[in-house]
Structures are given as structure tokens and as C-alpha cells.
Amino acid sequence: MNYEEMPNRPIMCIDMKCFYASCIAMLHGIDILETPVAVVANFDQPGSVVLAASPLMKEKYKIKTGSRRYEIPKHPDIQLFEPKMSFFIQMSMTITRLIANYVPVDAIHVYSVDVLLLLCKLYINDRQIYFVVYDNYYLNKGGYFEEQTRRLWY
């Protein structure tokens, strides 16, 4: 394959920071940036994998995505949650639909629940994406999660 002959297009990757942990924090009214939070696949299995960890959980306790439940220290400040996949998917679809208001649908490629790829081709840039999310969530709906979204995306 000759890559020289391939089209040269900018692609933007939108990776939603601590997405599962952020969604859980929204449901429980937790400040994701101030609280050590981990989303663990299965509480019943000590070797169960951590699906997401808040920034503080990563920084202070060295627990990250892929860590095991038995590695999480017993500490009263740490909050553990099991995943709510249907809610995570719903939130992801809401964000994708929101971005589709500003970018042609054929320019949006869903890579995973928390990652979108945009074929930019003069459609939109990273700063505009930030304002799309901020304006629509924070200004139109208001509330805790929207403020957290603004803090995490900028």
C-alpha cells in the first residue's frame, strides 16, 4: 500500500476523560476531580478489573484503568462503583448526537463508548468542540455534570 496516494485529512480524536467515572459521579453527585472514584467490573471477584478511575484515584492511590480490585487500598475516602453500561452508552450517544449538530454525520466515527474520531476537513477544530459541549450541556441544561464536563474537557 502506497500511503503517498492516500488522502491527507486531519482527524480529531475526542477521548472523554475518565468517562465511566465521570458518569457515575454525575449520578451520585460526586466531584470527580476531588474524590477518589473507581468503577470496578465486578465487586464479587477480587481480581476484577478497574474500568475507570478518577484523576485523584490515579494520582493519590496509583489505581488506574486495568488495575485489579484487590490493589485498591481500603480507605474511607475511596468510593467504588459497579458499571452502569446502559447509562454510559446513553451518555455517549447524547454527546455524539450533540456533536452531529455541528459536524456532518459521515465525519463522525465512533471508536468506542468514550472515543470519537472526527474527519475534520475544515468542519470544526478542538476549541470549537469544547464550546459545543460546554454551550449545550452547561448553558442549556445547567447542573453538576455539565460543570464537570466543562472542567474535564478544557
Query: pLDDT 10s digit of each residue in the chain, 154 long?
Result: 888 888 777 777 777 778 899 899 888 988 888 999 999 999 899 999 999 999 999 999 999 999 999 999 999 999 999 999 999 999 889 888 887 877 788 888 999 998 888 776 555 555 666 556 555 555 444 443 444 444 443 3
pTM (global) more than 0.75: no
User: Which amino acid is residue 114, in one-letter code?
Assistant: D
The conformation of residue 63, written as its DSSP 8-state character, comes to -
Grid cell listed for 114: 468514550
Please answer whether residues 119 and 100 qualify as being in contact, where contact means their C-beta atoms are separated by less than 8 angstroms.
no
CATH 3.40.1170 intervals, the chain: 19-81
Fold of 19-81: MutS, DNA mismatch repair protein, domain I (3.40.1170)
